[in-house]
Amino acid sequence: MSEGPEGPRRPEGLGALAEYADWARGRLVVAGRGLALFGLALAGLVQLIVLLGLLSVPPILVATSLPHDPPRRTLALIAAVLGIVVWFTLVPLALLWMRSVTRLTRRLSSRWCAVPIAEPYLPRPWAHGGKAGPRRRLAWVMTDQATWRDLLWVTMNGLLGWILPLLPAGLLVLGVVGVIAPYAPLDVRLLAITGAVLATWGSPWLMRGYGVLARSVLAPTRRAELVLRVEQLAQTRTEAIDTGAAEIRRIERDLHDGAQARLVAMGMTLDAAGQIIDTNPDAARALLLEARDASVRALAELRDLVRGIHPPVLADRGLADAIKALALDSPMRIHVASDLYGRPSAPVESAAFFAVSELLANVSKHAEARQTWIDIRHTDDMLRIGVTDNGHGGADPARGSGLRGIERRLAAFDGVLAISSPLGGPTSVTMEIPCELSLPKTSSY
């Protein structure tokens, strides 16, 4: 994928031939990929021609039918109506169709040329509700700067850009012709062979150069990046606020139905005890004991509630120990490994903790796993948590609302979740949250 243009290591002995063969095969693959990119450039050109045709046919029809003698008014009218339909519906569709080619170019650039290119398109304005009428779609496609940069790339690539990826394969063919074509002058044959050798040797660089060229046009501009970022921030902010509000409502309900109700009952029991304490001390004693038990139950409920809001052990000891405590309470065998030397900020810690807690709940509910491994690491300003179980796999984030919830929770911190869960297992979930660690507290004892 990203092998440099250096030749094969000077091999000695038995493996030499095999190494040369490997190298040659690698270069042939590169030449083949170049051909594919060349084909993609041609496909783009075809699209461009189709698009130009769509755009130009109705005006040409109108222009040619009116000066006719007698003027073909009906034809002109039909052409004009056709033109409007084409301009408003078919053109945006054709431009979207063009995106399929530029999208593929971006993907191939990262896979074959080692030059990753991000998507620059504005999100659909109707993604958060509303209808996708033709006029809205037209406005969306036409006002997106990326559309015009796509067009620029397809034109540029179709006219000149294709030369770069074609060079390795093209020169190789010329070189082969140079070897097997005795009728050509010697200097021409030598030139062809030299060209082939050079192009083969430098083909990874040619591909990389092509990738860089593509990136210069197809990558999001600074403005597009900012627009996308604003869009993403607005969405995650809304979700974070919604989640927070739902959480507060849940807490309010739990307090109202739980501890608060128990305290009311306790007050009534104590009052009853007070009224009969002189006349019936035994019954009063029973009521007092009842009130005491109610207070124990109220405390237990408050404890559970606090655990759900912010587990004390998380506040006390930080993420790794809180997850270890979680593991100790689980019926599964859970192995926790951590190399955290400091603590992330409290909100990140909390989000990560509840994400792991939710994942473990998922595992014990669905996966029928006997063991789970949790790996907590912090490298390159990124908190990485891996949760792997030996259950039967088949977890799908599209179906499980639990996984979606975790993704939303993490998104508020620019965190991401990746899941690999083939049928038959094992399931492996990796979460990444960018964050810095603060230095650990030093104990005074």
| Residue 74, token pair as written in the block | 């009906």
Pattern 382-401, binding to another protein, x per CB under 8 A? --------------------
Applying CB under 8 A, does 366 fall inside the site for another protein? Answer: no
| Residue 51, token pair as written in the block | 């698009």
Q: Taking the chain, what is the end-to-end CA distance rounded to the nearest angstrom?
A: 54
Residue (9 or 303) nearer to another protein, CB: 303
Residue (183 or 445) nearer to another protein, CB: 445
The residue to which tokens 């006719």 are assigned: 68
Applying CB under 8 A, does 309 fall inside the site for another protein? Answer: no
Give the burial class of 86: count Cβ atoms within 10 A of its Cβ; 0-12 exposed, 13-18 middle, 19 or more buried.
middle
The residue to which tokens 């074959």 are assigned: 112
Residue (136 or 317) nearer to another protein, CB: 317
Strand partners, 373: 335, 388
Applying CB under 8 A, does 443 fall inside the site for another protein? Answer: yes
Dihedral sign for Cα atoms in the order 262, 267, 271, 277:
positive
Applying CB under 8 A, does 306 fall inside the site for another protein? Answer: yes
Binding residue for another protein (CB under 8 A) from 18, 159, 299, 337?
Answer: 299
Interface region with another protein, contact rule CB under 8 A, candidates 90-98, 187-195, 274-282, 320-328: 320-328
Q: Write phi, then psi, for 100 (nearest 5 degrees).
A: -60, -35
The answer to whether residues 6 and 19 touch, using CB atoms and an 8 Å cutoff, is no
Applying CB under 8 A, does 286 fall inside the site for another protein? Answer: no
Applying CB under 8 A, does 346 fall inside the site for another protein? Answer: no
Residue (191 or 265) nearer to another protein, CB: 265
Dihedral sign for Cα atoms in the order 266, 271, 274, 275:
negative
Residue (152 or 296) nearer to another protein, CB: 296
Q: Write phi, then psi, for 426 (nearest 5 degrees).
A: -80, 160
Applying CB under 8 A, does 313 fall inside the site for another protein? Answer: yes
Binding residue for another protein (CB under 8 A) from 330, 338, 428, 430?
Answer: 330
Interface region with another protein, contact rule CB under 8 A, candidates 102-110, 156-164, 247-255, 299-307: 299-307
Strands of the 416-420 sheet, one edge to the other = 333-338, 371-379, 382-389, 427-434, 416-420
Applying CB under 8 A, does 307 fall inside the site for another protein? Answer: yes
Task: Identify how many contiguous H helices and E strands the chain contains and give both numbers.
Answer: 15, 5
Q: How far is the CB of 295 from another protein (least distance, A)?
A: 7
Q: Of 320, 327, 381, which Cα lies nearest the Cα of 349?
A: 320
- Alpha carbons 156 and 151: distance in angstroms, whole number: 8
Q: How far is the CB of 301 from another protein (least distance, A)?
A: 12
Pattern 239-278, binding to another protein, x per CB under 8 A? ----------------------------------------
Residues that bind another protein (CB under 8 A): 292, 295-296, 299-300, 303, 306-307, 312-313, 315-317, 321, 324-325, 328-333, 370, 441, 443-445
